[in-house]
Amino acid sequence: MKEFQLIEQFFKNKGQKRRDVMLGIGDDCALVQPAEGKVIAISCDTLVEGVHFFADMPAHALGYKSLAVNLSDLAAMGAEPAWMTLALSLPDVNQQWLADFSSGLFEAAEYYGVALVGGDTTRGPRCINVTINGQVPKGKALKRSGAKIGDWVFVTGSLGDSALGLDMLRNKQVIKPEHKEYLLNRHYYPTPRVLAGQALRGLASSAIDLSDGLVSDLSHILKASNVGAVIDANAIPLSSSLTESVGAEQALAYALTGGEDYELLFTVPEAQRGAIDTALLHAGVKFVKIGQICSGNKIKFTLDGQPFTPEFKGFEHF
């Protein structure tokens, strides 16, 4: 199968149709029309076989996740998803793999309202690169640099499940059968908190998505905002599947450093705490307060009311 046949069969005229796409797949560039009063938010992520996913990862899950991780970046900025491009490197043309991959990709795209408007395919080691474009009202984007001393620190969802799911795939953990499906789905099918991010506009002082672990990602906010934080380890949300599988101590280690949760971590001024409760209730997202921004430039932890020093750190790409 030739390149253009591949594109025609598996990607062209598939998925979400948007009226703001003036020209999509089939020309040298796509043409889109941003809404009045909004700016474009752009992010891209690359997933490389053997680095970010195993060769036997189900193609449907890989297609879904390749878009979901990008959507999480938009969520952290409070942006509305709109358009994406896909660059796909493949060692060969496996039509069943492509059918499953595109099915997962467009399942996520349809749900979150994203149109595929272009991209590229080439022969090489399996590698997926998605560039996502979203829109956010001018001056309303959430950033990492707005946290202030006294702001409260919150996270959505539960943390650590995806990392344990990954270790299960690596055969590093033996998991009870009743927890396997949940943990594997948390790793394969993350839930980008798109509506929550939009609900936080004008309320949160800073935000980031948790891709590299709470320790690493909170550190990005602290550096950008030139502040420190005190985090109550007892308040960090852990699922019953996580704690029942590995115990409380190791569950906390997964939550702090595991990565690939794709939940939101955000800070909120005291004056907006009530509004946050209402906004995220309407967005249908569970969230919990885990600490407070303070002076300094480091993270301090408490556990059972006492100072606590974790002996682990978050994921680093290099």
Pick out the residues of the known binding site for substrate: 52, 260, 315
- Whether the CB-CB separation of 136 and 39 falls below 8 Å is answered with yes
The Cα 128–Cα 62 span in angstroms is: 9
Binding residues: 28, 43, 45, 52, 73, 119-120, 144, 209, 211-212, 260, 315
Collect all residues with Cβ–Cβ distance below 8 Å to 220 and sequence separation of at least 6. Answer: 144, 208
Binding residues for ATP: 119-120, 144, 211
Binding residues for Mg(2+): 28, 43, 45, 73, 120, 209, 212
- Whether the CB-CB separation of 200 and 266 falls below 8 Å is answered with yes
The Cα 56–Cα 138 span in angstroms is: 43
Structure tokens at 294: 């303070």
> Can you list the alpha helix ranges (DSSP code H) found in the chain?
3-10, 59-77, 95-112, 161-169, 177-188, 194-199, 214-225, 240-246, 248-257, 273-283
